[in-house]
Amino acid sequence: MTEIVKCALLLALFSVPCTRGTRYSPPDKPKLTSCRSPEKETFTCWWQPGHDGGLPTTYALYYLKDNSDTIYECPDYHTAGENSCFFNKNDTSVWVNYNITVVATNALGSNFSDPEDVDVAYIVQPHTPENVTVNVMEDKGWPFLRVSWESPHKADIRSGWITLIYELRVKLEGEEEWEEHHAGQQKMFNIFSIRSGSTYLVQVRCKPDHGFWSEWSSTTYVKVPEYFFRERSLWILVMIFSSFTLIILLWIVHMNSHSLKHCLLPPVPGPKIKGFDQQIFKNGRSDEILSALMVPNFPPTKSSNYEDLLVEYLEVYVSEEQELILEESKDSCLKSDSSTCDSDSGRGSCDSHTLLTDKCGEAKRERRASGEDSGMTIESQKGWEEEALSYTQEDVATPDVSSRRVKTWPSVFSTVPQYTTSPLDQKTSLELSKQHCLSDTLFPPGSSTKEVLGPNYWEFDLSNKQSHLPQPQTHGSQQLQAHSDVNISYTGNKQVPALLQLPGFKSTEYVEVQKVNQEDMVILQPVESDNCGRDEECPHVLQGEDYSKVKGVGSDNLLLLQSGVKARMGDEMEANGVSESCYTSSSFATTQKHIDSMHSATIPGQEEPIRATTGYVDTTTMFTLPMY
C-alpha cells in the first residue's frame, strides 16, 4: 500500500509540474509540403508538422498506390532528413498515382493530413547542371564566350529516360540584370558581343520536358582579356594610305603656301596719304617728315582754286538769338551743323541751320530767360560771327564777288524754340521771340510754313568774303549783322501780318544779297520762291530794286539793314531799323519799345500788331502783352 501510495505520489509529483498550466492536446494536422524526384527514379516527400500539442509526436507517412487498397508506409524516414520520406527505386513506380497521407501521433491522439496525389512523372526536378565551364574564344579577332556544361550525373539522359532542356544566364560583374539564353537540349552555348577586359558571371540550369526547373548552378566567373583589333593587315593598309595622303597634302600645302597665306590672311592695307611717301618715315629724318606732312596746297592761299572751292552761299545769321545760341553751344552747334551739312556746306540749302537752331535753341532759352540784352546780343552776335566765320571757313574759300550769295537765316534762329519743342507747336512761349534782324524792306512776310516761321534769308553777295569776314570779327561783325528795322514776330502758322508783307518779298525765305557795297552794306534782294504762290499774303515781288541796304553795324554789333523798298514799310521801318537792333530780348522794356515803335509804324492791315513789331520775335512775355 505504502509503495503504491509512494508511486502515486511520485507520479503526481512528476506529473504536476508537467501538467501545471499546460494543456495537452492531440497534434495538429501535418501538411505535406512537396514531393520531388530528381531523376524520375526515386522521389522524396516532405511534410510540415503542426503543433505537437505539447507531447512528443511521431509522424508517419502512408500511401496508397494506384487504385489498390493496400496501405504502405514510408520506407525511409531518414535519408532525406527531418520530416521527410524517401522512396527508393524499388518503391517508386512511375505513372502510378500515389495517394500520400501523413499522420501525426502523440499520446493524446493522432491527426491525419490531407491526402495528396502524386505522380512521379510530373514531379521531376533535376539537380543543377555540372561542370559549367566558360572559355573565351576568338572568332575572326572578336572574342566570344563558350559555355559548356554537363547534365546532372543522376539524370539518365543517355537512355532517353529523361530529356533535359537547359537555360543559362550571363551578366557583367557589378551589374544587376542577367541576360538569359535558352540552350535547348545542347550542352554548349556561345555568347557573342562581349566586352573586352570585363568579368562575366555565368549560371546554368535545366528542366525535364515536363517538370520543374532546377536550381541555378554555382556562378562561374570568366575574365575577358583585353582584345585589340587583330586585323593587322587592314591596319597596315590604313596606316600606309593615310600616311601617303598626309604627305601629299603637306606637299600641296607647301607648294601653295604663299597663295594660301595670301588667301587666309589677306594683307591689311596700310594707310596711304596721297602724295606722301612712307619711306620718309622710315628714314626717320624729322625735317623731311615735317615737310612731307605739309600739304603743298593747304591751306589754300591763292585764288587759283577758288572756283573749285567756292561755294555759292554764305550763310549769314542776323538774329541775336542765333548769336546767343551759337555762342553757347557753339561747338555742338557747329559740329552738328557741320556734320549735317552736305559736302557743299556753304550753300543755303543746307538744312543744318534749322537743326542748328534746334540744338542751339535749347541752350539759348536759358540765356534768354536771363534777359541780357546787349550783352546777349553781343554774345550772340559774336557767336554768330564765329559761326559765320566757321561757315565761311567751311566754305574754305572766299566767295566770289559777283554772283555769290549769302543767305541769311535770321528767322531761323528766332524760331529755335519752336523747333526744339516741335515744329508744329506754334504756341510755345517763344513764339514771339522770333527776331529778325532784317532790313526794313527785306522782311519777307512770315511764311506760313511750319518749319520756318518766315525765316528770312538774305543772300549776301560778298565781293570779298574773306576780307570781310575777319572784319566782322574785329569790328564785331558789324557789317554782317543784319539789323532789321522791322520787327517781326510770328506766331506759329499764323500769317505774318500785312506789315510784314513787304512788297517784293515773297513769303519764302530767301532774300538775295546782291552785293556788299563799299560802305560795307549788304545789299539784299529778295529771292523768288515757290512758296509765294501758295500764300495769299505773299507780297508782291518787288522787282528791281529789292534789296536791303546795310545801314551799318549797330553799337551792339548788329548788322543794320535798311530796306530799300519803302512801299509799305515806309519811313517808319526805316526809322525803326535805325534805332532798333536785332536782339533777342526778354526784357519788357525793349520789347515794349520795339513794339511801340512798331506800332507807330501803323502797318496797314495789321491785325496783330504784336506780332509785327520789332525785327525779332520776343519771348512769350512779349506776346502776352495785350497792350495793343
Partner 1 sequence: MPGNITSVPAVWLWSVCLLFCIRLTSVGAAPICTNAQAGCHVLSLANLFDRVIQHSARMHGISNDLHNEFEQFFLPSKNQIGRISRNCHTSSILTPNGKENAQRMAREELTEVILKLLVAWRDPLWHFHQSMSHHHDFNNFSSSKALEISDMVHELRKGVEKVAEKMQNLGMIGNFVNNLASPETFLTSDSAEWRLMRNYDLLYCFRRDSNKVQNYLKILKCRIVPEHGC
Residues that bind partner 1 (CB under 8 A): 40-41, 64, 67, 89, 92-97, 99, 114-115, 117, 119, 121, 156-161, 163, 185, 209-210
DSSP string, 316-356: E---HHHHHHHHHTHHHHHHHHHHHS-SSTTSTT-THHHHH
User: Which one, 69 or 308, has the nearer CB to partner 1?
Assistant: 69
Collapse the DSSP code of 518 into the 3-class scheme (helix H, G, I; strand E, B; otherwise coil) and give the result: coil
Q: Taking Cα atoms as reference points, which of 345, 426, 437 lies closest to residue 388? A: 345
User: Which one, 119 or 362, has the nearer CB to partner 1?
Assistant: 119
User: Which one, 92 or 349, has the nearer CB to partner 1?
Assistant: 92
Angle of helix 588-601 versus helix 570-579 axis, rounded to 10: 160
CB of 135 to partner 1, least distance (A): 24
Q: What single-letter DSSP state applies at residue 358?
A: H
How long a stretch of residues is the chain?
Answer: 628
CB of 173 to partner 1, least distance (A): 35
Measured CA distances, 201 to 137, 145, 178, 219, 409 (Å): 16, 11, 9, 6, 102
Cβ neighbours of residue 262 closer than 8 Å, sequence gap 6 or more: none
CB of 99 to partner 1, least distance (A): 6
Burial environment of residue 119 by CB neighbours within 10 A (0 to 12, 13 to 18, 19 or more): middle
Q: Reduce the secondary structure of 309-325 to three states and give it as a string.
A: HCCCEEEECCCHHHHHH
User: Which one, 40 or 465, has the nearer CB to partner 1?
Assistant: 40
CB of 152 to partner 1, least distance (A): 15
Query: Angle at Cα 379 formed by Cα 327 and Cα 330, nearest 5°?
Result: 5
User: Which one, 121 or 567, has the nearer CB to partner 1?
Assistant: 121
User: Which one, 210 or 223, has the nearer CB to partner 1?
Assistant: 210
User: Which one, 156 or 231, has the nearer CB to partner 1?
Assistant: 156
CB of 17 to partner 1, least distance (A): 43
Q: What single-letter DSSP state applies at residue 190?
A: E
User: Which one, 87 or 391, has the nearer CB to partner 1?
Assistant: 87
CB of 93 to partner 1, least distance (A): 4
Contact 125/45 with Cβ under 8 angstroms?
A: no
Question: CA-CA distance, 183 to 146, in Å (whole number)?
Answer: 12
CB of 64 to partner 1, least distance (A): 7
CB of 154 to partner 1, least distance (A): 12
Q: Beta-carbon neighbour count of residue 448 at 10 Å?
A: 21
Question: CA-CA distance, 266 to 255, in Å (whole number)?
Answer: 18
Q: Taking Cα atoms as reference points, which of 538, 540, 509, 512 lies closest to residue 526? A: 512
User: Which one, 89 or 274, has the nearer CB to partner 1?
Assistant: 89
CB of 139 to partner 1, least distance (A): 26
* Bridge partners, residue 201, by sequence: 171, 221
User: Which one, 156 or 344, has the nearer CB to partner 1?
Assistant: 156
CB of 109 to partner 1, least distance (A): 21
User: Which one, 115 or 570, has the nearer CB to partner 1?
Assistant: 115
Measured CA distances, 123 to 34, 39, 165, 311, 486 (Å): 9, 10, 16, 122, 133
Q: What residue spans of 444-536 are helical by DSSP H?
A: 465-468, 470-475, 531-534
Q: In terms of DSSP bridges, do strands 220-223 and 199-208 run parallel, antiparallel, or are they unpaired?
A: antiparallel
User: Which one, 95 or 228, has the nearer CB to partner 1?
Assistant: 95
User: Which one, 113 or 587, has the nearer CB to partner 1?
Assistant: 113
CB of 72 to partner 1, least distance (A): 14
* Bridge partners, residue 515, by sequence: 523
Contact 48/83 with Cβ under 8 angstroms?
A: yes
CB of 88 to partner 1, least distance (A): 11
- And the C-alpha cell for 179? 541576360
User: Which one, 70 or 301, has the nearer CB to partner 1?
Assistant: 70
Q: In terms of DSSP bridges, do strands 405-408 and 313-316 run parallel, antiparallel, or are they unpaired?
A: parallel
Q: What single-letter DSSP state applies at residue 37?
A: B
Q: In terms of DSSP bridges, do strands 220-223 and 405-408 run parallel, antiparallel, or are they unpaired?
A: unpaired
Amino acid 53 reads: G
CB of 103 to partner 1, least distance (A): 17
- And the C-alpha cell for 605? 492791315
CB of 95 to partner 1, least distance (A): 5
Collapse the DSSP code of 145 into the 3-class scheme (helix H, G, I; strand E, B; otherwise coil) and give the result: strand
User: Which one, 165 or 309, has the nearer CB to partner 1?
Assistant: 165
- And the C-alpha cell for 7? 508511486
Q: Taking Cα atoms as reference points, which of 447, 405, 424 lies closest to residue 532? A: 447
Q: Taking Cα atoms as reference points, which of 326, 339, 597, 342 lies closest to residue 488? A: 597
Q: What single-letter DSSP state applies at residue 122?
A: G
CB of 209 to partner 1, least distance (A): 7
CB of 96 to partner 1, least distance (A): 6
User: Which one, 2 or 67, has the nearer CB to partner 1?
Assistant: 67
Question: CA-CA distance, 327 to 361, in Å (whole number)?
Answer: 11
